Amino acid sequence: MNEHHSWHKVGSPDDLVDDSFLEFTLIKGNPEDQTTDQRGFVFRRNGKVYGYLNRCPHLGIELNWMPGRFMDSDNCFIQCSTHGALFLPDSGECIAGPCQGEALVSLEVAESRDAIEVRLPE
């Protein structure tokens, strides 16, 4: 297993009340090999924690225009702030917009009494 697939602690359960988001850098980019940071976010919805890479499948850019703001105005779908694509919160599937039928890259999430951890799927 390489470091990209290892678990990263991104917060504690107390940091993540229902409908709140935590953002983090999962993998640091390196200008020498022209890689950029891979950022992600987790959120809690109806008690369950979900995590995704913060990367819109349309243009590969970050979804949010403000820290911690990912949902549409009705708080139903994750929304890309650039062209408005809508994603199902529990699967990351894009159901409307220019990348309809594609999906956010979901992260594996593990929650224990004092940590929320994520990793990229193998």
What's the closest the beta carbon of residue 63 comes to ligand FES, in angstroms? 7
- Contacts with 11 (C-beta within 8 Å, 6 or more apart), sequence order: 22, 24, 42, 115, 116
Instruction: Considering the complex, state which of residue 62 and residue 117 has its C-beta at the smaller distance from ligand FES.
Output: 62
Which residues from 92-111 bind ligand FES, rule CB under 6 A?
97-98
Torsion sign, CA atoms 58, 59, 60, 62: negative
Binding segment (CB under 6 A) for ligand FES, from list 20-28, 45-53, 57-65, 106-114 = 57-65
Q: Shortest Cβ distance from residue 37 to ligand FES (Å)?
A: 17
In angstroms and rounded to an integer, the radius of gyration of the C-alpha atoms of the chain is 14
Write the single-letter amino acid at 105: V
- Binding residues for ligand FES, rule: CB under 6 A, are 56, 58-59, 61, 80, 82-83, 85, 97-98
